[in-house]
Amino acid sequence: MEEERKVAGIYIRVSTEDQAREGFSLGEQEEKLKQLCDYKGYEVYKVYCDAGISAKDMEHRPKFQEMLKDMKDGKINYIVAYKLDRVTRSVRDLEELISQLEKYNTYLVCDRDDVNTSTANGRFFVRMTVLSQLEIEIVSERTKFGLNGAIKSGHLPGQVALGFKKDGNRKTIIDPSTAPIVKRVFDLYLQGKTFLQISNIFNEEKVLNKNWKDTHIERIINNRLYMGDYEMYKRLKEWKNVEPVIYMNVVDPIIPRYIWEECQAQKIINQRTYTRDRVYTFFQKLKCPRCGKIMKCKGSGGKRKKYVYYNCEDCHENIRESYVEEEFEKIVGQLLRFDNEYNELFLPLFADKEKSVDKSDIEREIINLTKQKERIKKAYMSEVVELDDFKEDLKVINEKLDILTKQLEKEQELKNRNRFTPEKVMADRDIQRIFMQNGNDVSLFLTEWQTMTKEDKQEFIARYIESLTFEKDDRYPNGIHLIDIKLKSLFTEKVSRLSELGLSQVPVEFISNNKSIMLNVSYPLKESQVKNYIKEFKDIEGVKLHIHPTFEFSLEDMPDEIFFDLEKDEKVLKLIPIIKDIDNSENLSNKFKLGIVTSFVKTTKEDSKE
């Protein structure tokens, strides 16, 4: 969509007294305002000049009345003046003018008074000289957009939130140059960063060249608009106990709904009081073995200062962090492997399903920002803006251009890739596992975990783990045993997406040839899917598909004991329940054949010793 045209009428006025007292001429006003319009990207329709006329009222100024008529006829949508008192000095006339501006979707910009009624704050600033209550501004903003249908179609009142912009029809749409910043705020928060820590990071990096505060980050995390919903009367709830009205799915979301909800849950946890004088790997994640409450972090003092504990204030239970980590290491390799495989292999499958910004929109935005750069350079050379303002504006534009350029490169990279299928990705994953230490790749990810810093470990756990529950049990080396792990929706959502495509697999314990073994069992696949999956191994020697000759089964009666007749050095890669290609294949009560995928693994000297 094309951006809204900004067509300005320049209004200049000077009385005989003004000229003598303040010494600025009509020519000087006109020149400065034309440069201002060029800087802001306004198209100048006409200059309206009332010479030698006072600001006593608007009615007896012919050029001002002509300008209002052009506004009503839709010829201009911005009125640009040197100062507010050039427009009017009458309280009554000012209120009437603002009402007319709102009625005809026109904005007032006054250069020297820093007035800009295109924002709620700007309109409130003007009305401060006229009104005593902000409520009138809220009502006027509400009536401007009228019916609920306007909101439901994406025409939202007020100033647009970071990450969004207005298109030519005044509809709120995603701004590709700032939306990645919003995504990063939510991502950092899910890593366990506080509002203050995120604002400090942004200030250090000079993001958008603004002074970030923790309240800015908090407003982003609380804003329902980022998951597509608009919350009306939110401010009135705080001031007058008016219940807000929520309109669902009125704009395209910048972040998924489950991410927003995950952050709200994290916010509640962060509001509790915890003792924090060092980095705690399992911060806010450990449940008390007795009462189930989240345990506080506690560092020992004295000679034992190196030890870190988790303490329940109610039950006075203490668990040493090193013991917790030893137990957690039994499963962390699988979590890290899944996260790595999802990011490296599975993401291309979902690229086409994600709501992405149109390439032409990105290119159009790059062109607009490039034009803005030229305008601010020209404005600086003409001394319309100061050097510091010029540098700030230029930095913000360059930062947005960098974000857009990277998005464009990412879109092009995805376009240039071959079309991925679930069968291809599943085969790529298994090929990767074949060549990683005879399939024992979990140990590599465990090594990765052990080499991570405490900060990195804490971020990983904060992102994916909701809680860990242990029991006290003297049968285990450290006297504790992990009995439950609750994963965050950020992790389970990934698993669900893979399950929908038939890519999930889980380790299952079987008895084979009188030995207990763990084998990966795939989600049930159709015969045609298995055929396509095996084709992907055409360049890999030794991968075979066997169909178990003796039985068929349903998921309810999956056998506990399986016998394999394998050749020397032939290893089972995975088991696949295979269903016939029929219309009702979603019905899991159907009978399955058992597919056994094997590969030949060369035995090393180290293996033969074992």
Token pair for 261: 């909800």
Token pair for 351: 């690229």
Nearest to 406 by CA among 157, 180, 235, 563: 180
Exposure on the CB side of residue 38, measured as CA atoms within 13 A: 18
Nearest to 520 by CA among 585, 442, 583, 410: 442
Cβ–Cβ under 8 Å, residues 18 and 53: no
Token pair for 607: 């293996």
Q: Burial code of 476-506, b = ≥16 C-beta within 10 A, e = fewer?
A: eeeebbbeeeeebbbbeebeebbeebbbbbe
Q: How far apart are CA 251 and CA 176, in angstroms?
A: 14
Q: How far apart are CA 187 and CA 164, in angstroms?
A: 18
Q: How far apart are CA 142 and CA 304, in angstroms?
A: 62
Q: Is 528 an annotated catalytic residue? A: no
- Of the candidates 15, 118, 140, 467, the residue annotated as catalytic is 15
Q: How far apart are CA 267 and CA 190, in angstroms?
A: 10
Q: Which amino acid is at 147?
A: L
Which residue shows structure tokens 């919903």?
229
Q: How far apart are CA 74 and CA 462, in angstroms?
A: 54
Cβ–Cβ under 8 Å, residues 312 and 319: no
Q: Which amino acid is at 2?
A: E
**Catalytic positions:** 15
